[in-house]
Structure 1
Amino acid sequence: MELRRHNVEVNDADPFANDWLARKGFANQLTNIIENNKQGEVVIGLSGQWGEGKTTFVKMWQKHMEKKEISSIYFDAFEYDYLEDVFLSLAIEIYNYAKANGLTVKEDYLNKSKSTYHLLQAMIAKTAPINIDSTLQEKLTHDESPILDISEVIKNSLNFALDNAFEQALKQKEVFRDFKDSLSQLATQASNQDMPLVIIIDELDRCKPSFAVEVLEKIKHLFLVESVVFVLSMHHEQLEESIKKVYGQNIDAHTYLQKFIDYPTRLPTADLSNNSNRRKYFWNQVDFIGLPVRSSHSMNRSYELFLILSIRYDLSYRQLNKALQNYKYLIASLDLNSDYSYPTMFLMVFISILKVKSGTLISKIRNNSATYQDLVEGISEVRGQNDFNLEVLQNLIRISFLTRSSFRETEHGSHESDFYNNFSSLIGEDENKVLMNLVQRLESFEDY
């Protein structure tokens, strides 16, 4: 079993073949927006929570557009976060696309990009006080007259700086206009059927606040041109927090963000109220994250328990993903020679789900103050259905509260014997440490 996360395979022939969340219909809606905005200069905001599959969706959608001959570029903003310079990062990605696709306008675009980059760097480095100071220094060094009128030098320097600033502003406008024209020409050439070039900006919410905000502003002022459509894939609440970190907590970050977006949309969530959909999604996720499948009877039974509990606790698919990841961590922490017995598997499932659903109960287990009634309350029935696996789980929770002396003094069935064999080192004379140990083991895998 590998610990690394896997990426969902995007099938070239059928991009949505692995569309476990049934989002192809939404992709068609977005494609319609593209086709109805052939002139470009449009920004689509695609919002979704972390872990909801935004990256997987946009990559499927990108392949879907490719089949419809709509050209697109995928830009991972987080991948370029370290470069600091937004213009350079995005301009390079667009040039690489033009080069890979043999666009004849690529050299003109490259030259215009270089001119714009040089100008942007000069604007950052240049400040008026330094210019005036440099002029004064030159006068003081080369003026041989015995009397130097400082006020006259300053006045002349200011006039020169203002005249120069005016000329520079005209130059800037011309350079930026030329860059935009070259980008628009590139986008027009990229499409075979008069469609805009779609540029997908992903992982924006994971970037440093300053970089994320600059991406928005550079798109608005330099890259949003005729024949180009931008798609911002983001967790918009997190991006709003980035805006506040840059401009202060008093800014209306939501209104600020909406200034950059023409079509705000939200990634559809899965309907897991349908148990058939939940089961299909669950098994796809088990395979996707690399959990062992059908390795033992106990393991398979534990997955069935997982499904039943996910219904009982009404887990969202994001919570279900997290609980499965918790389970994966716990499984990976077992001895390789472990036989994956019922007690181990079932209690790991229970703790994995409880960790995402009830911090209060996890805290009680951690502090050794949870009672049997606390833990089993409400899990005896699942939407009116009794389940043998739930009965086994309840029994395992019950015997986890037994002490070593209780085991010695009472006759027990196979489940109790298996439990004792698996957790004998954690069963004390006065207190139970089995569930506490599983919680501690899981929490050792948490983020720093």
Structure 2
Amino acid sequence: MNIKHNELEILVEDPFANCRLDRKKYAQILTNIINSYSYGFVLAINNKWGTGKTTFVKMWEQDLKNKGYQTVYFNAWENDFENNPLIALMGELKTLTTKSTEPEFKSTLKKASALTKHIAPIVAKAIADKYIDTEGVKDAIIGVTKGLTDVFENNVNEYSKKKKNISEFRNSLSEFIANTNKGKPLVFIIDELDRCRPDYAVSILEQIKHFFSVPNIVFILSIDKIQLGNAVRGVYGSDKLDAEEYLRRFIDLEYSIPKPESGVFQRYLYEFFDFDEFFNSPERIKYSELKYDKTDFLKICDILFSNSEISLREQEKIFTLAKISLRTFGENHFVFPLVYLFLTFLKIKKTDLYNNLKTQSLTIQQLQDRLFEIVGNKLNNDNERMLMLLEAYLLNFYNNSLNSGYYHKSKLYESDENGKNKLLINSIINKTKDIDLLHLLESIRGRRSGGDLKLDYFLNKIELLEELKL
């Protein structure tokens, strides 16, 4: 059994063969943009963390290689141990050298080295100005031993030399790229920029703009722009900084990968983690009461995951926990997938509500209100019955917990003088169909149907407090 969803295998001959999200078409759109504007630009692929950007850009990179493009993939998060991004970026470009282009690269590298020499004193002075109060000590650190006039003249000369070095570096880099890629632009992919050190992320952006803005390089920034904006504000020490405007200086074009069609990813995860091994096992299918478990599991998945606020990575975590904890159930045990997956969802996505259920700190009405907050915007004629069944099961098991594990129908409904049951609460799913909720509660009350179970029956399994059954 897989406990972790490993990276998809990217086949060289068909990079998108294992993509279950139908994203090849978006790669083709982006490739066409590169073809149309091959002179060079910066493209940001902007999606939230956990939406599969890294897998997409790696598939796209291989697809570009298959189409004859030179590419570089640089994971900024894995390389932020290097204080100077220029070193790391040049190190990635070195992978493109061949025997014939190595002399050109060495020439470019020497010019990059000259740039770092001019950057160092500026950084040293900035650090000295920020942390050292004694002027004499600052002068010693930055080597200022001349009079102010000499210092000013030296700074002017250094400024002129630095501009010249930048120009020479960019010209040399442009020639190297032109002789490397047979007329096609180099596609330089920078991934995980929003996850690395904020100062490192900002430095990469600045150096792309000032040093690498040359013909025939297309930079692809795989980012979560909101998180990167927060990093920018942190570096500049101001919450009032307009991060959107700041990033606009570096990004020429922005693209967001559309959300997958509803249900596609969860069905893939269902297959990947092989839930059928349990739900359709020969032992379980003997019991008629359990035969709809798979259907209910997938239906509640569709409802809970049909929200843009839940990322692919969060869906993966929910499925991982659900599969592991499912092994604490016996083959003939009730699972009640509607409740089981809903609680697993809460543990990953709505921790506060999950903990309130564990501590039994909610009233029945409060539980109903919180349930509606989560599923109310997904309510329609097709799933109303399913959500009312979830409501009934959840209230029943939670009410059992409140009453020390024994079923007390008086908390939810009571009998009138004619012996007819009367609901004491209203359905939060459809207040005009309380009679349906009453019938559902009546139907699940018996021990034979698992109606006597407490919510702890599920929580202990989700918390992995029970032994796994092999």
Bucket of the pairwise TM-score, normalised by the shorter protein = 0.7 to 0.9
By how many angstroms is 1:295 displaced?
Answer: 1.8
Equivalent-residue separation in structure 2 for 1:302 and 1:324 (angstroms): 20
In 2, are the aligned partners of 1:99 and 1:106 still within 8 Å (CA)?
Answer: no
- The answer to whether residue 368 in structure 2 is matched with residue 384 in structure 1 is no
Q: How is 1:327-406 mapped onto 2 (pairs within 5 angstroms)?
A: 327-332=319-324, 339=331, 341-343=333-335, 347-355=339-347, 361-368=353-360, 369=362, 371=364, 374=368, 383-384=381-382, 395=393, 398-399=396-397, 401-402=399-400, 403-406=404-407
For 1:371-430, what per-residue CA distance to the aligned partner results, in whole angstroms no more than 9, with x for missing partners?
398388779x974368899969955863564355559xx9945442xx87xx7xxx6xxx
Match of 2:457 in 1: 434
Equivalent-residue separation in structure 2 for 1:198 and 1:330 (angstroms): 40
Match of 2:235 in 1: 246
In 2, are the aligned partners of 1:365 and 1:439 still within 8 Å (CA)?
Answer: no
Equivalent-residue separation in structure 1 for 2:347 and 2:328 (angstroms): 24
For 1:277-334, what per-residue CA distance to the aligned partner results, in whole angstroms no more than 9, with x for missing partners?
x2x43222335xx524432236896553232013334523662742441242254357
Match of 2:278 in 1: 296
Q: How is 1:149-164 mapped onto 2 (pairs within 5 angstroms)?
A: 157-164=147-154
- The answer to whether residue 268 in structure 2 is matched with residue 284 in structure 1 is yes
Give the number of the structure whose residues are more often helix, by fraction.
Answer: 1
TM-score by length of 1: 0.76
Which residue of 156, 164, 173 maps to 2:163?
Answer: 173
By how many angstroms is 1:47 displaced?
Answer: 0.3
In 2, are the aligned partners of 1:298 and 1:340 still within 8 Å (CA)?
Answer: no
In 1, are the aligned partners of 2:305 and 2:315 still within 8 Å (CA)?
Answer: no
In 2, are the aligned partners of 1:302 and 1:349 still within 8 Å (CA)?
Answer: no
Higher relative contact order (Cα pairs below 8 Å, separated by 6+ residues):
1
- The answer to whether residue 113 in structure 2 is matched with residue 114 in structure 1 is yes
- The answer to whether residue 52 in structure 2 is matched with residue 23 in structure 1 is no
Equivalent-residue separation in structure 2 for 1:204 and 1:382 (angstroms): 40
Match of 2:429 in 1: none
For 1:121-180, what per-residue CA distance to the aligned partner results, in whole angstroms no more than 9, with x for missing partners?
243235896799569x99xxxxxxxxxxxxxxx8x6223222222222222122222221
In 2, are the aligned partners of 1:15 and 1:64 still within 8 Å (CA)?
Answer: yes
Determine helix, strand or coil for the equivalent of 1:232: strand
By how many angstroms is 1:183 displaced?
Answer: 1.7
Q: Any stretches of 5+ residues in structure 2 without a counterpart?
A: 130-134, 282-290, 409-443, 466-470
Match of 2:421 in 1: none
Distance change in 2, residues 1:170/1:303 (3 Å): farther
In 2, are the aligned partners of 1:113 and 1:179 still within 8 Å (CA)?
Answer: yes
For 1:230-273, what per-residue CA distance to the aligned partner results, in whole angstroms no more than 9, with x for missing partners?
1111000111111111121121111111111111222222231x
Determine helix, strand or coil for the equivalent of 1:187: helix
Match of 1:311 in 2: 302
Equivalent-residue separation in structure 2 for 1:333 and 1:361 (angstroms): 19
Equivalent-residue separation in structure 1 for 2:319 and 2:363 (angstroms): 21
Distance change in 2, residues 1:101/1:282 (3 Å): farther
- TM-align CA RMSD: 4.0
Distance change in 2, residues 1:400/1:189 (3 Å): same
Letter in 2 for 1:433: D
Letter in 2 for 1:213: V
In 2, are the aligned partners of 1:199 and 1:231 still within 8 Å (CA)?
Answer: yes
In 1, are the aligned partners of 2:9 and 2:18 still within 8 Å (CA)?
Answer: yes
Equivalent-residue separation in structure 1 for 2:140 and 2:447 (angstroms): 91
Distance change in 2, residues 1:213/1:389 (3 Å): closer
Please identify, of 385-394 and 68-77, the stretch whose mean Cα deviation from structure 2 is larger: 385-394
By how many angstroms is 1:35 displaced?
Answer: 1.0
Letter in 1 for 2:382: G
- The answer to whether residue 60 in structure 2 is matched with residue 70 in structure 1 is no
Q: Any stretches of 5+ residues in structure 1 without a counterpart?
A: 139-153, 273-277, 443-448
Please identify, of 300-309 and 84-93, the stretch whose mean Cα deviation from structure 2 is larger: 300-309
In 1, are the aligned partners of 2:42 and 2:220 still within 8 Å (CA)?
Answer: yes
Distance change in 2, residues 1:303/1:75 (3 Å): farther
Determine helix, strand or coil for the equivalent of 1:343: coil
Equivalent-residue separation in structure 2 for 1:246 and 1:132 (angstroms): 23
Equivalent-residue separation in structure 2 for 1:412 and 1:132 (angstroms): 82
Determine helix, strand or coil for the equivalent of 2:255: strand
Equivalent-residue separation in structure 2 for 1:105 and 1:340 (angstroms): 71
Equivalent-residue separation in structure 1 for 2:159 and 2:405 (angstroms): 83
In 1, are the aligned partners of 2:86 and 2:207 still within 8 Å (CA)?
Answer: yes
Determine helix, strand or coil for the equivalent of 1:44: strand
Q: How is 1:118-267 mapped onto 2 (pairs within 5 angstroms)?
A: 118-125=117-124, 133=139, 157-192=147-182, 194-247=183-236, 248-267=238-257
Equivalent-residue separation in structure 2 for 1:283 and 1:311 (angstroms): 9
Distance change in 2, residues 1:178/1:303 (3 Å): farther
Match of 1:60 in 2: 59
By how many angstroms is 1:226 displaced?
Answer: 1.4
Match of 1:143 in 2: none
In 2, are the aligned partners of 1:103 and 1:186 still within 8 Å (CA)?
Answer: no
By how many angstroms is 1:102 displaced?
Answer: 6.6
In 2, are the aligned partners of 1:75 and 1:200 still within 8 Å (CA)?
Answer: yes
Equivalent-residue separation in structure 2 for 1:100 and 1:434 (angstroms): 67
Distance change in 2, residues 1:376/1:173 (3 Å): closer
Letter in 1 for 2:267: W
Please identify, of 209-218 and 19-28, the stretch whose mean Cα deviation from structure 2 is larger: 19-28
Equivalent-residue separation in structure 1 for 2:301 and 2:71 (angstroms): 38
Letter in 1 for 2:344: S
Please identify, of 226-235 and 304-313, the stretch whose mean Cα deviation from structure 2 is larger: 304-313
Equivalent-residue separation in structure 1 for 2:235 and 2:325 (angstroms): 41
Equivalent-residue separation in structure 2 for 1:58 and 1:115 (angstroms): 33
**Share of identical aligned residues, percent?**
25
By how many angstroms is 1:108 displaced?
Answer: 2.2
